[in-house]
Structures are given as C-alpha cells and as structure tokens.
Amino acid sequence: MNQEYAYLALESWLLQQLQTGRWQVGERLPSVRMLCRERGVSKATVIHAYQRLEAQGRIEARPRSGYFVCAPLAAVRVSDRSDESTLIPQPVPVTSSELLTDIMMQGAAFDLLPGQQAPYLPAGLLLLNRAIARALRQSRGVSHQSYEEPAGFLPLRQLLAQRYQRDACQVTADQLCITSGCQNALYLALKASCQPGDLVAVESPGFYGVIQLLETLQLKVIEIPVKSGVGMDLKALERALMHWPIRACVVTPSFATPGGTLMPAGEQQCLLELAERYDLVVIEDDIYRELSFAGRLSPLKARDTQDRVILCGSYSKTLSRDLRLGWAISKRWHARIVYLKLMTQLASSHYVQQGLYDYLNSGEYDRYLRHRVTELYGQAQDWISAIQRRWQDQIVFDRPQGGLCLWVTWQCPIDTLALYPRALQQNVALTPGPLFSASGDFRQALRLSFAQPCTAAHEAALDRLQGLMHQ
Amino acid sequence: MNQEYAYLALESWLLQQLQTGRWQVGERLPSVRMLCRERGVSKATVIHAYQRLEAQGRIEARPRSGYFVCAPLAAVRVSDRSDESTLIPQPVPVTSSELLTDIMMQGAAFDLLPGQQAPYLPAGLLLLNRAIARALRQSRGVSHQSYEEPAGFLPLRQLLAQRYQRDACQVTADQLCITSGCQNALYLALKASCQPGDLVAVESPGFYGVIQLLETLQLKVIEIPVKSGVGMDLKALERALMHWPIRACVVTPSFATPGGTLMPAGEQQCLLELAERYDLVVIEDDIYRELSFAGRLSPLKARDTQDRVILCGSYSKTLSRDLRLGWAISKRWHARIVYLKLMTQLASSHYVQQGLYDYLNSGEYDRYLRHRVTELYGQAQDWISAIQRRWQDQIVFDRPQGGLCLWVTWQCPIDTLALYPRALQQNVALTPGPLFSASGDFRQALRLSFAQPCTAAHEAALDRLQGLMHQ
C-alpha cells in the first residue's frame, strides 16, 4: 500500500469498526502500539488516523490514557434546524426585504447568468495569489503573536499614497487607514463623521450598499438625482442643502454604479465649493476610477484643498472581490477612523497586506489593469451591440467611459422588480432598478454589467429576457 | 550579468538617468527596442524595468505612445505631514487616552519585553500558513468575481459547529456567522442585541477591548466585581439587575483576561437562570477555553437551553492573531448579526476560510493545541516561581487552570499606571491594572502573561521592574 495513503485507509477502516459497534461510546480504543501490530502499519500512520478522527469529533484523546470513543454527533442537525428556522420568526431588519438581499448577493457577481464561475484565474490574479502565499511562507513568527498596527502595514500605506500622488492627489500614508474592503471603509467613514439621525445625501440611482448602510447606522437618506453625463445634480443638491441641515454626501465621481457616469471636472470643483459653503463631509467612493477607458484620472480628493473629502477605495472591482482589503483616506478624520477600526476589528492580516504590497511593487498590478481595461472596453462594445440589436428604439443609456456597468432604462412600461423572480426561474439574474434607490424608483431600469464577455450563453439569456418582457 | 537581476540593474540605471535629468518631465522615454539596443538587454528586461518604474510612479505608459516621465513625487511628504499632524488638534475620542491605546497595543502582544518577535514560526502554524497558501493556489476563478456568502464558508461553519458539539454544545452551522476576529464578533453581537443608551454589565477587572467597545457603541457600562476562583460575582450582578434595566452581560467563563478565572459549573447555571429571570442577553467571550490545563471544557453556551447566549470565539489566542477570523453563534440573533456583517464589510475572504477548514480537518490544529497547552502549563509554573522569588509576601494571585495570564495584585501601595512609562524606558512593557476597568481601579495590579517562556531576558526585565518599584 502506498505509504502516503495508509492513514486514510486506516481511518476508513476505523470508521467502519466504529459504525459496526466494535467499540462502544466511552470505551478505550486500542493503543497505538496494539493497532500497529493488528493492522501492520507504522506508529505515525496510527497517530495520524487517530488525530483525523479526533478532529472529526469521533474519538477523543485523554492525557496519559489513550483514545476513547465519543458520543455520535447529531450530524443531520444542521439541515433540521435550517428547515425549522425558516418557520420561526427571526429579528430581521424591517427596511430590507429578503428579495432585495437576494438580488444584492446575485448582483454583486455582475453576471447575467447566476452562479457562474470563471473556469480559470487570470494570470494577473494568479500572481497576486502567489504574492500572498509567498508572504505567508516568509512570515517568521513576526505576526502570529501580535496584531498589525491598527491603521495597517506602513509600507503598503506608503505605496498606496504614492499611487494617489501619481494621480495628482497629494495624500500621505499617515492619512490612510487599511480596512476590510471598501464597504468597510464607507462604514468607518460614515460612522466617524456622522451621528445617528444625521441627514446624508446620496446619488439616485446609487449603490444599494450605501443606502442600506445608512439605514443600519440610523442615518436619514436624501436622494439627489443623477443627471446623464454629469453625475449628481448639484443644483438639486444645493436646493436640499438650503432646506436641510445635511451632514454628509456620499458620491462616486468616477463611473458610479449603476449609472456609470464620469463627473466632469467643473462639477467636481462645484461640489467641493458646496461642501465648503454648507460644511459638508464628502465621502468619495473610489473603486471604479482605475477602470477608465481613456487613461488615468484623478479622484475628487485631488481637488480637496479644505480636507473635506474622505476617500474610500479598494481593489475589489479591479482585482479580486476576495481580497477583502480597502482603505479610507482623510487627514481630519483619520484618528477617529483608526480608533473605530481598532474597536470593531482590532487589525488587518499582515500577510495579505504584505502580499498586496509585493504585488503592487512588482508592477504586475499595473500590467494586469492595462490588460483588464482593454478587455472591458471590448466587452462593453459587445454588450451594447447585443442590447441594441434587441431593444434599439425602446431603451436609453449612456455610453460608458469606464467602470463595469450600463444603466439601461426601457421607455415602454415594464417592471424589472416583478421580472426578477420570473427571470431567475429561467436562469437569468437581473439587477433591477429599484435596488438602487431607497424610494423604490427606477422600475423600468436594469443595471447590466460588461464585467463578463458577452458569450453565446449570455446572448441566449438576453433572448429569454426579451421573451419574458413580451409576455 | 545574471539574467535574473538584469531588470534591477536597468531599473537603477534608468533611475540615475532620471535623477540627472537626461529626460525631462513629460518627455518620452526611449522605445523598448531602442533601449534594448542601447543597453544590450532583452525586450523582457526593458519591459520589466519600465513596469517597475511605472509602479513607483516615476514614469507612465500611454496607450500606443510609449512611456513618459512623470512629475517627481513629494516623497518626503509622508514624514513632513506626520510631524505637522502631531501639532494640529485631531478629533480624537474623549474617553480613550493615547496612553491607554498605547498600553492596549503593547499589551496585546502578551510580552513583558516590548517589540519582541518570535525568531521562528511553530510547526503547527507553518502548517496553517501552508494550508492557506494551498487554498490560494487552488482557487480557480471561483472567488475573485464574487463575494463569499455573508455568514461565511459553509463547510468551515459546519466543522466549527461540530467542534462545539464535541464539547457538548449543540449549536449548528446555520447559527454561526464568520467574523473578522473575536473583537469583531463582540461588536456584531452587541450591535445586534443592544440600542445606544442600553446598560451592559461587564466583569471588573475585565477585557479593555469590551469596555472601550461599549463606549464606542454608546452603551453604558456597569462593572460587576470578579471573585477569586468564581468569576463574575452573581450576587452583585443580581443586585444590579434588581435596580437597573440591564440589557446584556459580557462574560468570559473560561480563563477571562486578566483574572484567568474558570467559572464553576454551578455559577454558570446560576448566571443563565438570572439571564432568564431578568431577560438578559449573555455575550460569551470564548477565546481562551481551549487553553485548559485539565482537559476539554464546555462553553457556557452548552447549558443555554433558552437561546440567551451569543457565543463569540476565534483562534487568535490559541493559533494566530494574524488570522483575523472569528465567529458569533446564536440562533435568535443570527439573521441580525449576518445582516450587520454584510452592511459593515460584505463578506470574509474565501481562501482564508478554506485554508483554516483544511487545517482543522487534517487534525493538525488539535495536535498543535495539545502541544501548546503543555508548553503553556510549564511556562505558567516558571513565571509563578519567578514572581514568587521576587515578591513572595507582597503579592496575591490565583493559580491559573488555563489561559494565558496571571492577575497579580501587590499588597503594598504601588501605582502600576504611573509605573508604565518609567518601565517602558527600561524596556519593560507592563499591562497595568487600570486598563481593565472603566473606573480606573486596580492601580496595584498587573496582568502578567505566560504566553512567552520566562527567559533570562524576561528574568532581567522582572529585576528591572523590582528595582523601579523600590525607587
């Protein structure tokens, strides 16, 4: 028998013996030496098999006494309880329906086909994973006995600050706090700068994660319309500012989801002037900017001479959603953000930060990004053709200049929210317009992503959607 | 020249040329082909060097035009600003002094010698790191395009639930939510079950992370004394419950920091009866239980027939503080906890969960734990001898039955908080008693950890401490 698998063979033999009741619960198992003799295997093999069974909760080790049979586990309990819990009322938040949470989870995949998984990892991500794995291999007892500095690994913060400086944004490492992704950065930024009951202006349509986060933080939402090609309507924002004591404004100047709009430079300047005049905290969601089709852009924060902007970013949209690493940048609010991070999660993993640092520093990220942006540009054109072929005169949308999505509004009366469950039955995962508003508007709109290539399967999904709309 | 380092040599030559002004800001750099000829290197070498310079922000690539010199970065800005920001008043939380935060960060290392780092990684942790690295290598495009299920990776949740079942605690995977460490679990548990202004009972002395977290969540703290060998004084708790509408109680039944007490079974039962009578949410901090010197213990949650306990755990204290992975278990509050996690951080990394699952499942964790507990038992005896040799008649403490620390109270009048900065000057990192109370009590106590072996350097640190006390 192959020595490598001897312990697995022994493990399954032991399991069989346990099942047939050779040893009763509480009874002592044969000693390692006895079992070596009985089964003709090495001591290491017996110990390995016993340890695996112990990890599974089948047997337990008692100091200086050997191994004993445990009571059988209620293995079916998980599914039992699962059924039960759907019947018992649970304390769920009143403002978010299960349907919306479901759509949110599906929508986060940015794919019209539900449950799709890329068959392989792009080379750029393979290198990222290798960099993190290398950081793990090279950790020498540095990190397991202490927590990383709450603000995060300094070399990574310096490198990220440098990258912003390259984009004309003069931020420094001591203004940057590493977070568990961009949603976590938005949470910390809002929590640091607002009190429960405060009013916060958001884009409408806008990112559902922000709207729900505001509700969770007991902040009040004021929706400001987004204008085609312009972004948040600053005239509407100013009217709101004149009437209400608005504390903060969450805005995505570059390729906001779902609209995909790039806010022109003049508008960005004007927004900062309003912030100054009305003492507004501006929270910039900066996760799509690097996905620009026309070269590098500066964030809004680059124009922020009055330290009014808290910039929130991550590489979830450019690199990997599984990295769970983002940042919040602000001089004014930095100490408070770091303190809140310390309170709510102590620190971030060192090895992930070290791995990301190495990856960025090698130049591989920029290489991957260039390739990815070219790919996204091509995919955007394909998706636009695909929808124009089907709905030419019935839809309006802006041609994207970057980002991951198209915001498509039908001019005939359709209800995309009602369409969602029917489409899902036909294996089409829609992201309906009402998900992007606290007031349930945009029933005639869908967010359509070009993060995936428009394959034959996607074309077929669009056909099914067309069929459903005509029913 | 070694081919492997050719790009580094070219990079430093290019940097030199940039510094001497061979090319001006905005000027085009030589094409890849030209530079190959000029420097006698391969195309790959030139591209690699250019990419590294691009990542550093020295040059930029423009599509179909080549590489151009960027404006120099304000490289000294980081330290400049750093100085500046210490002068400008920052919005810092009023309730937490910088001294306490400093002590907290030092104390988290559980070492009397500041800034110490283990020279090597224990074999058990090496295997954990390998398991995570393997999970990274094996990810096949599954995870980078979507977020993990908010509650966490189901197989890991099932395995963790099984481990609790093995300790007579009948919880199931659908009650368990994976979090960013135990502090994050405590945050989610408190946030899910309490409203701002609610009263929360805590142990005194108790974990500083909880006291500060309560302040952050705008909850009011009621400190309940801890009795030697018993844990939270339940008579005192009941008196408080009769007088105040206390909403929740945070308790560490097994080897609480700093006291290290193991709450007897009868007391645990009594606590749950009080919880039932006074409609109390019990939040169990369960991070030290597996470090028991006398065999496996059950958590308080095992006796919780009324679903009043939210169990919070992690492997930070048994395995690695850098894992940043914990869990919160409750049937009643599960949906709310998962929703809050989704709102504040979306999800946890898949590969870390997969790696931890593989490591637990292989039996290596149990093996590591057995070894670690034996080691800690020995170290505890050494530390006890070391302090008894120095302060025999001046101190009181309980002999630990597990965990990582001793709570040592001097009977002569000393002030450990005042001692802290003086000790740090002599390279001794104390964890003073007042850190473990909202009211600043316990000035005559220190938490002393036996997480490290009591080396000659530690003995010398104790000598310095003794000298300071006699000054």
Indicate the fold that domain A123-362 takes in CATH. Answer: Aspartate Aminotransferase; domain 2 (3.40.640)
A246-260, A325-339, A375-389, B209-223, range with the lowest pLDDT: B209-223
* Partners of residue A319 in chain B, C-beta under 8 Å: 144
Inform me whether the pLDDT recorded for B168 exceeds 50: yes
Confidence of residue A146 (pLDDT cuts 50, 70, 90): low
* Position with higher pLDDT, B53 vs A287: A287
* Partners of residue B145 in chain A, C-beta under 8 Å: 109-111, 117-118, 321, 451
CB-count burial class (<10 Å; 0-12, 13-18, 19+) for B359: buried
Assess whether the previous peptide bond of B253 is cis (omega < 30° from 0): no
pLDDT computed for residue B247 by the predictor: 96
Inform me whether the pLDDT recorded for A52 exceeds 80: no
The pLDDT mean for chain A works out to: 85
The CATH code that applies to domain B100-119+372-470 is 3.90.1150.10
Of B57, B130, B149, the CB nearest to A163: B57
Confidence of residue B72 (pLDDT cuts 50, 70, 90): low
pLDDT computed for residue A306 by the predictor: 93
Contact flag A321-B216 (C-beta cutoff 8 Å): no
| Residue A326: closest C-alpha in chain B | B345
* Partners of residue A32 in chain B, C-beta under 8 Å: none
* Position with higher pLDDT, B89 vs A450: A450
A44-48, A229-233, A331-335, B120-124, range with the lowest pLDDT: B120-124
The pLDDT mean for chain B works out to: 85
What are the angstrom distances between the C-alpha of B45 and each of A130, A197, B56? 21, 58, 17
- The arithmetic mean of pLDDT across residues B303-312, rounded, is 96
pLDDT computed for residue B17 by the predictor: 85
**Three-state SS letters, chain B:** CCHHHHHHHHHHHHHHHHHCCCCCCCCECCCHHHHHHHHCCCHHHHHHHHHHHHHCCCEEEECCCEEEECCCCCCCHHHHHHHHHHHCCCCCCCCCCHHHHHHHHHHCCCCCCCCCCCCCCCHHHHHHHHHHHHHHHHCCCCCCCCCCCCCCCHHHHHHHHHHHHHCCCCCCHHHEEEECCHHHHHHHHHHHHCCCCCEEEEEECCCHHHHHHHHHCCCEEEEEEEECCCEECHHHHHHHHHHCCEEEEEECCECCCCCCCECCHHHHHHHHHHHHHCCCEEEEECCCCCCECCCCCCCHHHHCCCCCEEEEEECCCCCCCCCCCEEEECCCCHHHHHHHHHHHHCCCCHHHHHHHHHHHHCCHHHHHHHHHHHHHHHHHHHHHHHHHHHHCCCEECCCCCECCEEEEEECCCCCHHHHHHHHHHCCCCCCEHHHHCCCCCCCCEEEEECCCCCCHHHHHHHHHHHHHHHC
- The arithmetic mean of pLDDT across residues A377-406, rounded, is 94
The CATH code that applies to domain B123-365 is 3.40.640.10
pLDDT computed for residue B39 by the predictor: 87
Contact flag B144-A335 (C-beta cutoff 8 Å): no
Confidence of residue A149 (pLDDT cuts 50, 70, 90): confident
CATH number for the B3-69 domain, one of 3.90.1570.10, 3.40.47.10, 2.60.34.10, 1.10.10.10? 1.10.10.10
pLDDT computed for residue A46 by the predictor: 87
Inform me whether the pLDDT recorded for A225 exceeds 80: yes
Per-range mean pLDDT, top range of A11-20, A160-169, B38-47, B80-89: A160-169
Inform me whether the pLDDT recorded for A18 exceeds 90: no
- The arithmetic mean of pLDDT across residues A43-70, rounded, is 79
Torsion on CA atoms A125, A126, A132, A137, rounded to nearest 10: 180
- Segment B225-273, tens digit of pLDDT: 999 989 999 999 999 999 889 999 999 999 988 989 999 999 999 999 9
| Residue appearing with tokens 């992370």 | B209
Confidence of residue B34 (pLDDT cuts 50, 70, 90): confident
Q: Pull the structure tokens for residue B250.
A: 């945070």
* Position with higher pLDDT, B461 vs A23: B461
Inform me whether the pLDDT recorded for A120 exceeds 80: no
Contact by Cβ (8 Å): A300, A251: yes
* Partners of residue B174 in chain A, C-beta under 8 Å: 78, 81-82, 85
Contact flag A55-B142 (C-beta cutoff 8 Å): no
- Segment B419-442, tens digit of pLDDT: 998 999 999 999 999 888 877 789
Inform me whether the pLDDT recorded for B415 exceeds 70: yes
Confidence of residue A4 (pLDDT cuts 50, 70, 90): low
Region of residue B181 (phi > 0: left; psi between -120 and 50: alpha; otherwise: beta): left
Of A172, A295, A324, the CB nearest to B81: A172
CA angle B133, B135, B141 (to 5 degrees): 120
Inform me whether the pLDDT recorded for B98 exceeds 90: no
Per-range mean pLDDT, top range of A197-211, B18-32, B41-55, B56-70: A197-211
Contact flag A110-B145 (C-beta cutoff 8 Å): yes
pLDDT computed for residue A310 by the predictor: 98
* Position with higher pLDDT, A370 vs A440: A370
Per-range mean pLDDT, top range of A272-276, A343-347, B25-29: A272-276
- The arithmetic mean of pLDDT across residues B126-135, rounded, is 84
Confidence of residue A78 (pLDDT cuts 50, 70, 90): very low
| Residue B58: closest C-alpha in chain A | A166
Instruction: Kindly report the nearest CA distance between residue B143 and chain A, in angstroms.
Output: 6
Confidence of residue A338 (pLDDT cuts 50, 70, 90): very high
CA angle B346, B350, B356 (to 5 degrees): 125
pLDDT computed for residue A94 by the predictor: 30
Taking alpha carbons only, the member of B229, B202, B204, B187 closest to residue B398 is B229
Q: Which CATH superfamily is domain A107-120+367-470 in?
A: Aspartate Aminotransferase, domain 1 (3.90.1150.10)
Phi/psi of residue B317, nearest 5 degrees = -90, -25
pLDDT computed for residue A93 by the predictor: 30
pLDDT computed for residue B123 by the predictor: 76
- The arithmetic mean of pLDDT across residues B461-466, rounded, is 95
| Residue B351: closest C-alpha in chain A | A322
Share of chain A above pLDDT 70, in %: 89
* Position with higher pLDDT, A102 vs A265: A265
* Partners of residue A137 in chain B, C-beta under 8 Å: 129-130, 133
A279-288, A348-357, B14-23, B199-208, range with the lowest pLDDT: B14-23
Share of chain B above pLDDT 70, in %: 89
Inform me whether the pLDDT recorded for B3 exceeds 70: no
| Residue appearing with tokens 């489409």 | A423
Domain residue spans in chain A? 3-69, 107-120+367-470, 123-362
| Residue B48: closest C-alpha in chain A | A363
- The arithmetic mean of pLDDT across residues A353-366, rounded, is 91
Inform me whether the pLDDT recorded for A160 exceeds 80: yes
pLDDT computed for residue A142 by the predictor: 53
- The arithmetic mean of pLDDT across residues B28-33, rounded, is 88
Of B132, B146, B175, the CB nearest to A109: B146
